Amino acid sequence: MSVLVIDTSGETCAAALASDIAAGAGARILAAETLPLKRGHAEALMPQIERVLAAAGGIAGAGLEAIAVVAGPGSFTGLRVGLAAAQGLGLALSIPVIGLNAFDIVREMLSGITSAHPLLIALDSRREEPFFQAFDAAGGTLTEPLALPVAAMVARLPAGPLYLAGSAAAAVRAAVPDRNWLEARVAATLDISVAARVACAQLLGGHTLPPQPLYLRAPDVTMPQAAPAAARGQG
């Protein structure tokens, strides 16, 4: 029995195989692979999954009981690569597919923070507004995942010292330098092994998200009179 975990949300393409749901956060990582990749996830992902599963006897031998996929936030196209592949696998294997919130993974990756203060995680969106989620000192959520201008997000947060982490942390610190920011170090890309343990813990606890993309932003569209950029075909 095992759980396959996939991440194509950012500038890596990653897959891991975790031992079993019953072990929860203590699940063993049977195999994992992370490729640095700016584009080309659609080509790289499925052969990578096959390599990772080969460690457990291939897709038939691995005895998959669930698939977890990073549902966002992240690159829109990247999210769809992972979610479509995961749903294809889940549909044909008749096993559940769950979505993982990237902020939950970053939180597990953090080290060296105490539970004395709230935490703001800021992830790079390649746009003006980073992706944010805030958590209270006890680990509960202060906000849902959001895409907001830095000032608007910071205005929503309680007074006092705050841990700040994530790939957009430096940008937030630069935009609002007068806050009492406490440093919380974390790698710029998601750790697929950590993602796998988060997935097993959520599956064990029954607190899972559906495999639906967390875009956090509406599509960039303009109404026809402004810019009819789109083309319509008859077939």
Partner 1 sequence: MTNSNPKLDPAAPAKGPIVLGIETSCDETAAAVVDGERNILANVVLSQLDDHAPYGGVVPEVAARAHLAHLPGLVAQALEKSGCDWEDIDAVAATGGPGLIGGVIVGVMMAKGLAAARGLPFLAVNHLEGHALTPRLTDDVAFPYLLLLVSGGHCQLLIVSGPGDYTRLGTTIDDAVGEAFDKSAKLMGLSYPGGPRLEAAAAKGDASRFALPRPMIGRDDCDFSFSGLKTAVRRELEKLENPTEQDIADLSAAFQKSVGDSLVDRTRRAIRLFRQRHPEGQSLVVAGGVAANKYLRARLTALAGENGLDFVAPPIGLCTDNAAMIAWAGLEHFRRGETSGLDFAPRPRWPLDPDAEPKPGAGVKA
Residue with tokens 């950590």: 194
* Residue 199 CB burial class (10 angstroms; 0-12, 13-18, ≥19): buried
Written as six digits, the tokens of 42 are 């659609």
- Least spacing, CB of residue 91 vs partner 1, in Å: 6
Query: Which stretch, 83-91, 121-129, 141-149, 196-204, contacts partner 1 (CB under 8 A)?
Result: 83-91
**Does the footprint of partner 1 cover residue 215 (CB under 8 A)?**
yes
Residue pair 16/192 in contact by the 8 Å Cβ criterion: yes
**Does the footprint of partner 1 cover residue 234 (CB under 8 A)?**
yes
- Least spacing, CB of residue 35 vs partner 1, in Å: 12
Written as six digits, the tokens of 184 are 């919380």
Q: Which is nearer to partner 1, 42 or 142 (CB)?
A: 42
The C-alpha R_g of the chain, in whole angstroms, comes to 19
Near partner 1 by CB under 8 A: residue from 66, 86, 102, 109 = 86
Listed in sequence order, the residues at least 6 apart from 145 whose beta carbon sits closer than 8 Å to its beta carbon are 72, 73, 101, 103, 131, 132, 133, 214, 216
How far is it, in rounded angstroms, from Cα 65 to Cα 204? Answer: 12
Near partner 1 by CB under 8 A: residue from 26, 63, 88, 149 = 88
Near partner 1 by CB under 8 A: residue from 16, 30, 81, 119 = 81
How far is it, in rounded angstroms, from Cα 215 to Cα 79? Answer: 8
**Does the footprint of partner 1 cover residue 87 (CB under 8 A)?**
yes
Residue 95: count of CB within 10 angstroms of its CB = 15
- Count of residues that interact with partner 1, criterion CB under 8 A: 44
Give the footprint of partner 1 on residues 31-50 (CB under 8 A). 40, 42-47, 49-50
Tell me, residue by residue from 50 to 69, as one string, x for binding to partner 1 by CB under 8 A and - for no binding: x--------xx---------
* Residue 196 CB burial class (10 angstroms; 0-12, 13-18, ≥19): buried
Q: Which is nearer to partner 1, 82 or 166 (CB)?
A: 82
Near partner 1 by CB under 8 A: residue from 61, 77, 115, 158 = 77
Residue pair 18/29 in contact by the 8 Å Cβ criterion: yes
**Does the footprint of partner 1 cover residue 83 (CB under 8 A)?**
yes
The footprint of partner 1 (CB under 8 A) covers 40, 42-47, 49-50, 59-60, 76-77, 80-93, 212-213, 215, 219-224, 228-235
